[in-house]
Amino acid sequence: MLKLSKLLNKYNKQYLYKEKTNVWQFRRYEKELSRQDLFFKIKNDEDFIRFEVIRTSYDNMREIQNKFFDLKAEFGEVWDVISYQEKHFLLYQKLAPFMDSLKHFIYQDKRYFVAFFDDLINAYYDHDMLMFENDAYRKYLYDFNKIVIDPSKFGILPVKSGFSQVDFIVGDDDNYVLYSSLVNRFYKDNNAGISFGISKPLNEEQVHTIASFIYNNEKEALVDYLIFNQLGSKRLLKRLKRVKRKLIK
């Protein structure tokens, strides 16, 4: 598949990490992510997808925090005199529906909103924000670099749940194919260097068909499909016909 990938990419040189809006987006978060030990250089689309998982996690975290503080302000002086149980009841009457509207993924039967936090901190964000009124945890609302974990622990789960703009098309948690409609590109197992840029627009059926060929490593079927449906320039299609035998070895 690598030979075919390289050939197709010569005719589609659009990549997510090079798109102007995506470059701007990354720079917008760069300072804060650096402060929290979450910054890394983006060298390819796979890096950018990882950044999007971190960015969505960061946005979730801030939105939950802001909603929590807004609700506390609504309760006013009452907040300081009611019990923990009463606070929790009043808070989650309004916070729970808001939480349900945020992107999240399920890992080992637990709900995660922040892919760079472990299960304990995610549990607090999910259903016990009152823990952050405790001095031991309040500091982690703003400086959390000491409790950051590697989001790759969760594999493809965040991407499957919409933490990135790419779509999960086919596969399981270990072997899969992703697709970006923005740059018309497929990604196999989020493996750096293994992507397939298509140089003609695709409809939904074509996206799923091509993804299936890539997932099942059906090189000959993919080449034939591209040629038959003319999913490329005349020059590319002519070259595919000429080098087909070499590509499918």
**pLDDT confidence of residue 47:** 94
Q: How many other C-beta atoms can be found within 10 angstroms of the C-beta atom of residue 81?
A: 7
Residue 87: pLDDT above 80?
yes
**pLDDT confidence of residue 194:** 86
Nearest to 125 by CA among 79, 78, 57: 57
- 183 in Cβ contact with 16 (< 8 Å): yes
Q: Which string of DSSP letters, residue by residue, matches 42-79?
A: --SHHHHHHHHHHHHHHHHHHHHHHHHHHHHHHHGGGG
Gap between the Cα atoms of 44 and 245, Å rounded: 29
Gap between the Cα atoms of 196 and 184, Å rounded: 9
Backbone angles phi, psi at 213, to 5 degrees: -65, -45
Q: What is the pLDDT of residues 116-134, one digit of tens each?
A: 999 999 999 999 999 998 8
Q: What is the pLDDT of residues 190-246, one digit of tens each?
A: 665 689 999 999 999 999 999 999 999 999 999 999 999 999 999 999 999 888 777
SS3 86: helix
**pLDDT confidence of residue 174:** 87
Number of H helices, E strands in the chain: 10, 6
Counting Cβ atoms within 10 Å, is residue 113 exposed (0-12), middle (13-18) or buried (19+)?
buried
Alpha helices in 76-194 (DSSP H): 84-100, 119-127, 135-138, 157-160
**Rounded to 5°, angle at Cα 147 from 145 and 148:** 65
**pLDDT confidence of residue 134:** 87
Gap between the Cα atoms of 59 and 87, Å rounded: 25
- 4 in Cβ contact with 217 (< 8 Å): no
Q: Calculate the average pLDDT of the chain.
A: 93
User: pTM higher than 0.85, yes or no?
Assistant: yes
Contacts of 177 (CB under 8 A, 6+ apart): 169, 170, 171, 186, 187, 188, 189, 211, 212, 214, 215
Q: What is the pLDDT of residues 18-76, one digit of tens each?
A: 999 999 999 999 999 999 999 889 999 999 999 999 999 999 999 999 999 999 999 99
Reported as a pLDDT band with limits 50, 70 and 90, residue 249 is low
| Amino acid at the residue 68 | F
**pLDDT confidence of residue 192:** 58
- 199 in Cβ contact with 206 (< 8 Å): no
- The two structure tokens encoding residue 5: 């990938």
Nearest to 57 by CA among 189, 181, 201, 154: 154
